[in-house]
Amino acid sequence: MKSSSKIILGIALLSTLGISGLVQAINTKQVKLPVAVISSQHKPYQVAEVPGGDGDGEINDDAQEQKESANLQSLAKIGPQQAQQAAEKAIGSQASQVKLENEDGNLVYSVIIGQKDIKVDAGNGKILYTDTSNAETNEKDRPHSSIRIAENADENNETNDR
């Protein structure tokens, strides 16, 4: 074979490989963000896990929120399932969300059922009060939970139990 033929064949081979690599790079699928679906036997919950933030525009607060949540959970005497059961029994409907919160110095589970936000005492499982989206209530008239915590207790785990 002539050397000019070898050169032409070599260039054709390299061109073919280059074009196929380019086509493969274009057709590569983009990476999707992970989403975890957590479900109990009859109550579906969806939790979106977005790396670097929680969707509120603040990137570095996920770790702090997880730490605060763990601190609050260590103070609670009942679990989220017990709070959910208490709220569902009181309202007669299924919950869509359960979250442990420091509500004005009270450790409560916030259980969402429809348009209602049922506050369940994280110490004894009793229903404290119910907020609705259109009701205005005086916060001073609300009952307190059996576990009282300081407003900044999320960070230093201090309590003012009596």
Distance, CA of 57 to chain centre? 15
Question: Which tokens belong to 120?
Answer: 């369940």
**Does residue 157 have a pLDDT over 80?**
no
Q: What is the mean pLDDT of the chain?
A: 75
Q: For the stretch 45-56, what's the b/e string if a residue is b when 16 or more beta carbons lie within 10 angstroms of its beta carbon?
A: eeeeeeeeeeee
Q: In one letter, which amino acid is 56?
A: D
Is it true that domain 35-156 has CATH number 3.10.450.40?
yes
Q: Read off the pLDDT band of 118 (50, 70, 90).
A: very high
Q: Read off the pLDDT band of 127 (50, 70, 90).
A: very high
**Does residue 146 have a pLDDT over 70?**
yes
Higher-scoring residue by pLDDT: 96, 104: 96
Q: Read off the pLDDT band of 40 (50, 70, 90).
A: very low
Question: Which tokens belong to 87?
Answer: 């709220």
In 3D space, the residue among 111, 109, 110 whose CA is nearest the CA of residue 88 turns out to be 111
Q: For the stretch 12-43, what's the b/e string if a residue is b when 16 or more beta carbons lie within 10 angstroms of its beta carbon?
A: eeeeeeeeeeeeeeeeeeeeeeeeeeeeeeee
Higher-scoring residue by pLDDT: 139, 19: 19
Q: Read off the pLDDT band of 20 (50, 70, 90).
A: confident
CA dihedral 35→40→42→45, nearest 10 degrees, is -30
Domain range annotation of the chain: 1-29, 35-156
pLDDT at 98: 93
Q: Is the dihedral of CA 40, 127, 104, 134 positive or negative?
A: positive
In 3D space, the residue among 55, 74, 54 whose CA is nearest the CA of residue 63 turns out to be 54
Q: What percent of the chain has pLDDT over 70?
A: 62
Distance, CA of 38 to chain centre? 10
pTM for the model = 0.54
- Per-residue pLDDT of 21-30, as tens digits, reads 767 766 665 5
